[in-house]
């Protein structure tokens, strides 16, 4: 049987984590069908059909699919679930919100946030904020899986030509209503997918001092992160939070500034390829995961850092 | 209005967990246990609603071993009126917890069910959504703000793109994010009073549900260790290493 992947998109384009989820789905079984539920999202259907890993696109449209309420999406997924061995989505707020609603109605015990496909029924997943990894085997006939996007590569986006099949919408769930979304607009790369992340912690002392971080991030074309302590102290808004209660990031370069390295923060960044820690406390736990540690006062180190970057002939983007 | 709040007993979030040497799980003997942090936000929100006069009763419920009574007592100490323990041993998966909670909802008929968005032990993030599916109720997950407007709840949700606002009809399920509120501490007199509040104990079989695990845990391992890094002496050395050794800038 085939694998059903539920696409995340904004009706104009597919959201990046869907590409990672398609890779994970194709590791379970090569016959990946993508379900696209939305409103006026024909362009998205077309772009998904061009991904070589996708064998078929199922496309359903309705006005009430515009804002991806789980209450509206779940019945449609359940309706077509019979033909599939696995139902897969990414473990971000989209998939986390939706998948358990599908799993419970199908009486399936979901496997959340997998980081590796070991076989069609066995998966690796982090527990305790990534402080341990469990190998788990689902005994349900059908599986509901969410995947950790940063643990899988993105799939190819061109060269394929999967058929697009229109399917009928299910009824609207009238007890829930979307009101509004306040998206944080930024010229910077998205935190979840940025190549470089520069993060500040409690050591920044206040919100204004994040300017020091911003200057470096501008130079490196980096996303800006923060520890929970910095968010709770009101220095920066929550969408910047990296950690167990924020976002999990796996950039090529992660620079932690004034961050002590609480377990919950490490959970969100310790898989980064190269980690830099700048902290005046030489005993701070962040140094235990850092490839390069600089024991220094950040208020001296950051301006120097910017100066050194300015001296370079070229910087990777 | 009646609010049911589901809580879970977990290893305290400040504890550095250890994997058992035989790979069968996590060491829990002699380890400090606490309530799951976002469940504290769920209780706090319910208590605030009751204090504002919009709710009349708060019931705290948990599924777990005998000692989970401690977690219920804590909820009672910060303002819940009574507790229900559904006694069960071993691993109880979110689907089983959702089925147990469904039975309690059928019996108690609450208007709202609150719980944390995720438990910090298994990190599943499923129970609230599963319960709303089983009840066919609306779900407002990852809530960072809740406003009651007559028979409608306006909830601000923390999503990847930023903030989303939805309206759900009551009865509904809300899963709470850490930024919803600042949980209070229980005062000593309230801890004493909580000991006298009613606490009912049931078992899964009393409720007529099957809670056997469907997902087998084959092994648990430590995460791969990072190889030890180095300390650099100056910013100039750091930038040089990043440029020439790590080749990331």
Number of domains in chain B: 1
**Which CATH number do you get for residue A285?**
3.40.50.1220
Q: Has residue A120 been placed in a domain?
A: yes
Greatest alpha-carbon span in chain B? 68
**Rounded Cα distance, A55 and A32, in Å:** 6
The verdict on A301 and A212 lying in the same domain is yes
Which of A162-166, A309-313, B115-119 shows the lowest per-residue confidence on average (mean pLDDT)? A309-313
Contact A196 B243 (CB under 8 A): no
Angle at A245 between CA B214 and CA A72, to 5 degrees: 60
* Of the candidates B229, B234, B226, B222, the residue with the CA atom closest to the CA atom of residue B246: B229
Q: Which of A145, A166, A187 is the last residue of a domain?
A: A166
pLDDT, position B14: 82
Q: Residue A233: which of A258, A215, A270, A196 has the closest Cα? A: A258
Say what the pLDDT of residue B161 is: 82
> Of A146, A166, A186, which residue constitutes the final position of a domain?
A166
Is A242 contained in some domain? yes
Confidence at residue A180, expressed as pLDDT on a 0 to 100 scale: 96
- Are residue A241 and residue A107 in the same domain, yes or no? no
- Token pair in block for residue A189: 């790369």
Mean pLDDT computed over A57-64: 98
- How far B185 CA lies from chain A's nearest CA (Å)? 18
The Cα–Cα gap between A316 and A297 comes to 26
Is the pLDDT confidence value at A184 over 80? no
Per-residue pLDDT of chain B (249 residues), as tens digits, is 999 999 999 999 888 899 999 999 999 999 999 999 999 999 999 999 999 999 999 999 999 999 999 999 999 999 999 999 999 998 999 999 999 999 999 999 999 999 999 999 999 999 999 999 999 999 999 999 999 998 999 999 999 888 999 999 999 999 999 889 999 999 999 999 999 999 999 999 999 999 999 999 999 999 888 777 999 999 999 999 999 999 999
Residue A57 predicted with pLDDT over 90? yes
Q: What is the pLDDT of residue B13?
A: 84
* Same domain, residue pair A159 and A213: no
Whole-number pLDDT of residue A237? 87
Residue B204, chain A, CB below 8 Å: the answer is no
Taking the Cβ of residue B26 and every Cβ of chain A, the question of whether any pair is shorter than 8 Å is answered with yes
* Contact at CB, A93 and B160, closer than 8 angstroms: yes
Distance from CA of A27 to the nearest CA of B (A): 20
Torsion sign over Cα A200, A204, A209, A212 = negative
pLDDT surpasses 90 at A130: no
Report the residue of B112, B173, B235, B244 to disrupt the A interface, i.e. the one with the largest count of A CBs within 10 Å: B235
Residue A32 is assigned to a structural domain of this protein? yes
Name residues 164-183 of chain B within 8 A of A (Cβ): 164-169, 172, 177-179
A89 within some domain: yes
CA distance A260 to chain B (A): 14
Work out the mean pLDDT of chain A and round it to a whole number: 95
**Cα–Cα nearest to A289, from B220, B224, B247, B15:** B224
Is residue A274 domain-resident? Answer: yes
pLDDT of residue B186: 94
**A144 to each of A88, A204, B175, how far by Cα in Å?**
6, 42, 21
**Does residue A289 have a pLDDT over 90?**
yes
Tokens of B100: 């147990």
- DSSP for B102-132 reads HHHHHHH--SEEEEES--TTT----HHHHHH
**Is residue A62 assigned to a domain?**
yes
Nearest to A180 among B17, B141, B165 (CB): B165
Tell me whether residue A180 is in a domain.
no
- Give B55 to chain A, closest Cα distance, Å: 21
Total structural domains in chain A? 2
For chain B, positions 1-20, list CB contacts with chain A under 8 A.
Answer: 11, 13-14, 16-17, 19
Which residue from B17, B234, B248 is facing A252, i.e. has the nearest CB? B248
- Using a CB-CB cut-off of 8 Å, the residues of chain A touching B133 are 74, 100-105
Same domain for A200 and A132: no
Residue A8 confidence (pLDDT) above 90: yes
A-proximal residues of B, 34-73, CB under 8 Å? none
Q: What is the CATH number of the domain that holds B24?
A: 3.40.50.620
Confidence tier at A172 by pLDDT (50, 70, 90): very high
Tokens linked to A31: 């016959």
Domain containing A109 — which CATH number? 3.40.50.620
With contacts defined as CB-CB under 8 Å, which chain B residues touch A101? 129-130, 132-133, 139
Are residues A152 and A12 located together in one domain of the fold? yes
For residue range A153-162, list pLDDT tens digits in order.
999 999 999 9
Residue-level pLDDT at A192: 82
pLDDT value, residue A247: 86
A148 and A74 co-located in one domain: yes
pLDDT of A251 reads 94
Which residue in A has a C-alpha nearest to residue B182's C-alpha? A232
CB-based contacts of A137: which residues, under 8 Å, 6+ apart? Answer: A121, A122, A123, B215, B216, B218
Binning pLDDT at 50, 70 and 90, where does residue A132 land? very high
A134 assigned to some structural domain: yes
Could B238 and A276 be called an inter-chain contact, meaning their C-beta atoms sit closer than 8 Å?
Answer: yes
> Can you give the pLDDT at residue A4?
98
Task: Report the percentage of chain A scoring pLDDT > 90.
Answer: 87
Instruction: Label residue A77 by pLDDT band (50, 70, 90).
Output: very high
B229:A184 CB<8 A: no
The DSSP bridge pattern shows strands B162-169 and A176-183 to be antiparallel
- What pLDDT shows up at residue A316? 80
Contacts of B142 in chain A (CB under 8 A): 93, 97
pLDDT at A248: 86
What domain range is A77 assigned to? 2-166
B242 and A276 in contact by Cβ < 8 A? Answer: yes
């Amino acid at each position: 049987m085939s694998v059903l992947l539920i696409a995340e998109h904004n009706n104009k384009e597919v959201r990046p984590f869907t590409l990672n989820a398609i890779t994970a789905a194709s590791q379970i079984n090569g016959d990946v069908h993508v379900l696209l539920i939305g409103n006026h999202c024909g362009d998205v259907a077309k772009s998904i059909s061009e991904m070589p890993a996708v064998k078929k696109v199922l496309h359903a449209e309705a006005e009430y699919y515009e804002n991806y309420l789980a209450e509206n999406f779940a019945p449609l997924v359940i309706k077509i679930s019979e033909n599939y061995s696995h139902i897969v989505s990414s473990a971000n707020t989209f998939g986390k919100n939706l998948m358990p609603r599908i799993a419970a109605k199908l009486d399936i015990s979901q496997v959340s946030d997998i980081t590796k496909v070991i076989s069609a029924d066995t998966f690796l997943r982090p527990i305790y904020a990534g402080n341990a990894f469990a190998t788990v085997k689902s005994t349900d006939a059908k599986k509901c899986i969410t995947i950790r996007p940063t643990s899988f590569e993105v799939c190819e986006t061109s060269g394929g030509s999967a058929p697009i099949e229109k399917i009928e919408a299910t009824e609207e769930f009238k007890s829930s209503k979307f009101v509004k979304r306040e998206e944080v607009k930024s010229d910077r790369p998205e935190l979840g997918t940025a190549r470089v992340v520069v993060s500040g912690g409690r050591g920044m002392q206040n919100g204004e001092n994040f300017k020091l971080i911003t200057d470096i991030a501008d130079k490196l074309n980096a996303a800006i992160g923060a520890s929970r302590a910095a968010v709770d102290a009101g220095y920066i808004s929550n969408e910047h939070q990296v950690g167990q209660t924020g976002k999990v990031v796996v950039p090529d370069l992660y620079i932690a500034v004034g961050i002590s390295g609480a377990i919950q923060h490490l959970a969100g960044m310790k898989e980064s390829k190269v980690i830099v820690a700048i902290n005046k406390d030489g005993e701070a736990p962040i140094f235990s995961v850092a490839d390069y540690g600089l024991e220094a006062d950040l208020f001296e180190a950051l301006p120097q850092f910017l100066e050194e970057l300015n001296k370079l002939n070229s910087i990777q983007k | 209005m009646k609010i049911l709040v589901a809580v879970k007993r977990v290893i305290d979030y400040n504890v550095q967990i250890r994997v058992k040497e035989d790979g069968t799980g996590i060491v829990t003997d002699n380890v400090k246990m606490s309530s799951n942090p976002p469940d504290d936000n769920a209780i706090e929100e319910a208590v605030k609603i009751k204090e504002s006069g919009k709710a009349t009763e708060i019931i705290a419920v948990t599924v777990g071993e005998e000692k989970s009574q401690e977690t219920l007592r804590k909820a009672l100490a910060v303002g819940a009126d009574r507790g229900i323990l559904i006694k069960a041993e071993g691993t109880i998966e979110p689907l089983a917890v959702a089925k147990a909670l469904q039975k309690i909802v059928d019996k108690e008929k609450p208007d709202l069910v609150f719980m944390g968005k995720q438990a910090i032990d298994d990190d599943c993030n499923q129970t609230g959504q599963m319960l709303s599916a089983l009840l066919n109720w609306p779900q407002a997950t990852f809530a960072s703000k809740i406003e009651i407007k007559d028979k409608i709840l306006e909830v601000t949700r923390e999503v990847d793109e930023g903030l989303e606002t939805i309206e759900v009809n009551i009865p509904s399920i809300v899963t709470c994010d850490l930024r919803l509120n600042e949980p209070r501490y229980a005062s000593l007199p309230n801890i004493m009073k909580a000991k006298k509040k009613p606490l009912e104990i049931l078992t899964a079989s009393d409720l007529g549900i099957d809670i056997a695990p469907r997902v087998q845990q084959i092994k648990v391992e430590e995460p791969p260790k990072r190889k030890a890094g180095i300390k650099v002496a100056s910013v100039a050395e750091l930038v040089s290493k990043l440029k020439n050794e790590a080749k990331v800038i």
